[in-house]
Amino acid sequence: MQDTVHSLVWLAIGFGLVNVAHSLEAQNNFRYLAQTPLSTVPTFDNEDIPWGLTTYANIPYLPCLSKRDSLKYDIAVLGAPFDTATTGRPGARFGPGAIRSGSSRIYADAAWSLYTGENVFKSNVKIVDCGDVPMTRLDNTVALKQLETGHDIINARSPVSRDLSPVPRIINLGGDHTTTLSALRAAYKKWGKLSVIHFDAHIDTWNPKVLGGDVSDYGAVNHGTFLHIAHEEGLITNSSIHAGIRAPLAHPVKDMKNDRRCGFEFVTSRDLDRFGINGIIERLKSRVGDAKIYISVDIDVLDPAYAPATGTAEPGGWTSRELLTILDGLVGLKVVGADVVEVAPAYDGAGETTGVAAAEVVHSLLYLMVKTPVAGE
């Protein structure tokens, strides 16, 4: 018994000595830090670092919507905080912030893809975050025009490299899917008619008489009718395609007849099980051919298990891995614009599952733009 007591005493003394040693080491480290010459402390005078701002993938922020003609860049990330044309759960006005937050793990110096071997941020292509377009929450018509004007301002700039594109290309962070209509209207002025690759659970070509327009002309413009409107306005070609479609229809015949009239074919979500990843990629590429492309990704193309934070979740969607593999497989297409929309972070979990997935989708869209230059008309 006496030996046990002696052992415990010596053990306590040993722990005490270790703690004293750690305390002395901490004090010495503190003294070292306190005595560090100020010349070795990093300064904050680098205008290319967005100090204090949350930007996509920590890239530089530029006030792209200002009147400073000297601002030059090749690809602009632009937020569209808008969600007042939804038919389901609202909240996508906070999507741009959620996507930027989900990208916080991405840094230029450590963004080499294991799959492609590429780092889009080290490609001599200047990519910047332009922040959000100021959009009113009280009038949809005005808000969408504000977004179109924001795109027009960027489209009027000269890029850093004209070998990549005659104007900066834009990746839009939504916002509900109606924001794609503003992007297409602005893109048409620079590029003419575009083929659309539309990743979504829903067709979004509903006739406004079926969805929204039966209430008012104002309500006719919404996130389920914008592709119908884009067709009616002559913005898109008849060689467009949906991917990941699985949502119910309002009418089993009329909806799909109007969809074909608007220039779309479609790949369903379950087609992936029949044809595989490569089959889906080949179908998308063969449909759009050599046309100039706008890629729109509604995050609800993913199954709610991978993207719960969206306005109209539909079970049976693709996994994040499947979508990213398909996107990377589209390399070589002439992508002139793109977006990721319908991220509504209020419905996400603590791990920000949807925001993280959407941020990686943006990363893949950047890869497509960086890899394939697009010549002007």
Per the DSSP assignment, residues forming a β-bridge with 340 are: 173, 297
Peptide bond into 175 cis (omega under 30): yes
Predicted pLDDT of residue 13: 44
Predicted pLDDT of residue 58: 95
Predicted pLDDT of residue 26: 47
For 170-200, the DSSP string reads EEEEESSTTHHHHHHHHHHHHH-SBEEEEE-
Instruction: Note the residue count of the chain.
Output: 377
The tokens 């790949």 sit on which residue?
267
Phi, psi of 37 (to 5 degrees): -60, 140
Handedness of CA 161, 164, 165, 169 (dihedral sign): negative
How many other C-beta atoms can be found within 10 angstroms of the C-beta atom of residue 281? 19
Predicted pLDDT of residue 181: 98
The whole-angstrom separation of Cα 291 and Cα 309 is 33
- Of 123, 14, 107, the C-alpha closest to 59 is 107
State the burial class of residue 223 (Cβ atoms within 10 Å of its Cβ: 0-12, 13-18, 19+).
buried
CA atoms within 13 A on the CB side of 375: 2
State the burial class of residue 47 (Cβ atoms within 10 Å of its Cβ: 0-12, 13-18, 19+).
exposed
The whole-angstrom separation of Cα 227 and Cα 198 is 10
Can you tell me whether residue 309 is helix, strand or coil? coil
Percentage of the chain with pLDDT > 70? 86
Handedness of CA 260, 262, 263, 264 (dihedral sign): negative
What residue type is 370 in one-letter code? V
53 contacts 62 by C-beta, under 8 angstroms: no
| 271-289 per-position pLDDT tens digit | 999 999 999 999 999 999 9
Strand order, beta sheet including 195-199: 127-132, 75-80, 169-174, 334-341, 292-298, 195-199, 240-245, 264-268
What residue type is 122 in one-letter code? K
Predicted pLDDT of residue 210: 87
Predicted pLDDT of residue 200: 98
The whole-angstrom separation of Cα 66 and Cα 57 is 22
What residue type is 16 in one-letter code? G
Predicted pLDDT of residue 199: 98
Predicted pLDDT of residue 10: 46
- Give pLDDT tens digits along the chain (377 positions): 555 545 544 444 454 544 544 454 545 554 555 565 655 555 555 555 556 789 999 999 999 998 776 789 999 999 999 999 999 899 999 999 999 999 999 999 999 999 999 999 999 899 999 999 999 999 999 999 999 999 999 999 999 999 999 999 999 999 999 999 999 999 999 999 999 999 999 999 999 888 887 888 888 898 989 999 999 999 999 999 999 999 999 998 999 999 999 999 999 999 999 999 999 999 999 999 999 999 999 999 999 999 999 999 999 999 999 999 999 999 999 999 999 999 999 999 999 999 999 999 999 999 999 999 998 75
Cα angle 118-59-137, degrees, rounded to a multiple of 5: 120
288 contacts 242 by C-beta, under 8 angstroms: no
